[in-house]
Amino acid sequence: MRMKGAQAVVAALEREGVEVVFGYPGGAILGVYDYLYDSKVRHILVRHEQAAAHMADGYARATGKPGVCIATSGPGATNLVTGLATAHMDSIPIIAITGQVARAAIGRDAFQEADITGITLPITKHNYLVKDPADLPRIIREAFHIATTGRPGPVLIDLPRDVAMAEIDFEYPVEVDLPGYKPTYHGHPRQIMEAARAIAEAKRPVLYVGGGVIASGAAREVRELAERCNIPTTTTLMGLGAFPGRHPLFLGMPGMHGTVAANFALNECDLLIAVGVRFDDRVTGDVRTFSPKSIKIHIDIDPAEIGKNVKVHIPIVGDARLVLRALLDQVEPALHSEWLAQIQAWKEEYPLGYVEKEGALMPQFVVEKIYEVTGGNAIVTTDVGQHQMWAAQYYLFDQPRQFISSGGLGTMGFGFPAALGAQVGRPDAVVFCISGDGGFQMNMQELATAVENHLPVKVCVLNNFFLGMVRQWQQLFYRQRYSASRMVNPDFARLAEAFGATGMVVRKAEDVVPALKRAMEVEGPVVIDFQVAPEENVWPFIPAGQSVAQMMGLEELKKAKEKRAARAGREAVTLAETAPGREGRA
């Protein structure tokens, strides 16, 4: 069928089953927009292209389907960059389509020209500059294939405006021919056998589970393995929800702001079963002292992750679900009662907790109440910093794709647009964005997008009038010299109202639950400005590049526990029976 290049783009999106795209029009991409006008593909108009990339990302994380974003050439394309880098670091499948100046103008510093394929080379899984209009259908097919298979990631297609105007024969290919791209899905049988033997011999095993388990849909297999062999399980920030947060075998998150139990378990275990993780520095700290006593099994679909940061003994390259399936055929039940008793002792000695500050609203308390009011069933997105860690610590995620956060790149401004993308993809879900006053201000213009598209996302700004994590580091490592971390903020509630959303301010603990309940009843987007204790810290804390031995904040956890025990009297003994993170306030 003869059609214009731009029409072919839209036709290809339809063939790929794309329901929605997030974008912002401009000169070089107008051709595509003209055909979108008549298409059944829904277009969400953002207010800044960065948000289009984050929305596509949030959509992909919430649904498991690739997210698509569109921008024009030059500044439109460069505004996508942070979103692409975010998706790249967290292995999220998104397709970015950018306009480009006409082929003859490329390299002449034409109006709104930027070398976006050059710029995004290291932050995309692959990218294309379409030079021959006839290649367009093949390139789009390949882009979707590459983005969604193997280790997923973002793919960018740069489309010169004259290519979009050229007539081509549209025949959409079914197969792709990529001789240089052959992901390995099935683990090597001998390695799987080795792993099964190591599991049988282990006395103190730990499952260390990350985002790869969510990407591969292996949560059920992880749980089966954990339960059959009684293996305590820790999930990284990216892996939260891959193992039920309320499960007795759940250790909480490991690493810098991980639970004491998770970090002690990693330190003492004799077998570490790492699945879909990349031994990130926020987990390992000093790699030389990370989990020093363990045999390490590493299951990952990306061979380059094996041995990248930490030496492993039994590498298995393959899809987490398929490898675990094969492994489950070979492992026998085990009890590990002594090990579990040790873990339980750690959980009881150092549960997560916080000390109430007189007259102040505690941010952790707010997260706990969000958890209660949403019944633990909300999709929660975050920005980056203290609120992100409190959300990870105090909201217990039971389902994969429930917690959406920029783990690798640590992108402030991610949370709100990601929440909108998640809401578009899962219209029936309750979506909360737990943000900070810093992070929310980085993309709060998207309130207009939320209102325009009736996206009922609930934004909870844990507002401490600081860049909280920056302030915490300055307090601990820079002699409390709060350089550029104090913030004079707008009135977030009135701001929300100005956009046509609902705004609320909460300053007292007793107002938290009523405000949250009201927010749930409101049909549209809501912003709640929780004005919380300004100088609260995230505990525990292993400073960057250090080891478990340097963990800070244990005194704080103890104090919280004692206060709680004093208040609850004898009942306190039973507290530690619950999973970490639900120990509540003191």
Which residue type does 156 have? L
Give the residue with the Cβ less far from other proteins, 305 or 529: 305
The reply to whether 146 sits near other proteins by the rule CB under 8 A is yes
SS3 at position 420:
helix
Burial of 333 from C-beta contacts in 10 A (0-12 / 13-18 / 19+): exposed
Contact track, other proteins, 335-364, x by CB under 8 A: ------------------------------
Looking at 95-103, 301-309, 449-457, 546-554, which segment touches other proteins (CB under 8 A)? 301-309
Q: How far apart are CA 337 and CA 330, in angstroms?
A: 21
Work out whether 288 is an interface residue with other proteins (CB under 8 A).
no
When binding is defined by CB under 8 A, the residue of 107, 118, 292, 427 that contacts other proteins is 118
141 contacts other proteins (rule: CB under 8 A): no
**Contact region for other proteins (CB under 8 A) — 185-193, 281-289, 304-312, 404-412?**
304-312
Q: How far is the CB of 305 from other proteins (least distance, A)?
A: 9
Give the residue, chosen from 1, 45, 104, 304, that forms a contact with other proteins under the rule CB under 8 A.
304
Query: Does residue 131 touch other proteins according to CB under 8 A?
Result: yes
Measured over the CA atoms of residue 425, residue 24, residue 84 and residue 19, the dihedral's sign is: positive
Query: Which part of the chain contacts other proteins (CB under 8 A), choosing from 71-79, 126-134, 202-210, 256-264?
Result: 126-134
Tokens 């701001």 sit on residue: 495
Query: Considering beta carbons, is residue 146 or 256 the nearer one to other proteins?
Result: 146
Rule CB under 8 A: say whether 135 interacts with other proteins: no
Q: In 3D, which of 288, 329, 294 has the Cα closest to residue 207?
A: 294
Phi, psi of 426 (to 5 degrees): -130, 75
Least distance to other proteins, CB of residue 181, Å: 5
Quick one: 301 or 551, whose CB is closer to other proteins? 301
Angstrom CA distances, 274 to 21, 214, 250, 403, 504, stand at: 35, 14, 15, 20, 43
CB of 106 to other proteins, least distance (A): 11
Residue 122 binds other proteins, judged by CB under 8 A:
yes
Distance (Å, whole) CA 557 – CA 507: 24
Q: Are strands 167-169 and 2-4 parallel, antiparallel or unpaired?
A: antiparallel
- Residue 117, interface with other proteins (CB under 8 A)? yes
Specify whether the CB–CB gap between 287 and 224 falls below 8 A: no
Residue 260 interacting with other proteins (CB under 8 A): no
CB atoms within 10 A of CB 292: 12
Query: Up-side HSE of residue 462: CA atoms within 13 Å toward CB?
Result: 35
Phi then psi for 502, rounded to 5 degrees? -100, 135
Q: How far is the CB of 113 from other proteins (least distance, A)?
A: 17
**Among 217, 303, 410, 524, contact with other proteins (rule: CB under 8 A):** 303
Q: Is residue 302 at the binding interface for other proteins, with CB under 8 A as the rule?
A: yes
Q: Which is nearer to other proteins, 303 or 524 (CB)?
A: 303
- Is 178 near other proteins (CB under 8 A)? yes
Is residue 175 close enough to count as binding other proteins by CB under 8 A? no
Question: What's 243's DSSP letter?
Answer: S
Q: Using CA atoms, how far apart are residues 102 and 111, in angstroms rounded to an integer?
A: 11
Q: Does 573 bind other proteins (CB under 8 A)?
A: no
How remote is the C-alpha of 557 from its chain's centroid? 27
571 is written with which tokens? 């009942």
**Of the candidate residues 107, 307, 427, 500, the single one contacting other proteins (CB under 8 A):** 307
Closest CB to other proteins among residues 184, 578: 184
Helix (H/G/I), strand (E/B), else coil: 514? helix
Asked if 104 is part of the footprint of other proteins (rule: CB under 8 A), the reply reads: no
H/E stretch holding 294 reads none
Q: Enumerate binding residues for other proteins (CB under 8 A).
A: 117-118, 121-122, 125-126, 129, 131, 146, 178-181, 302-304, 306-308
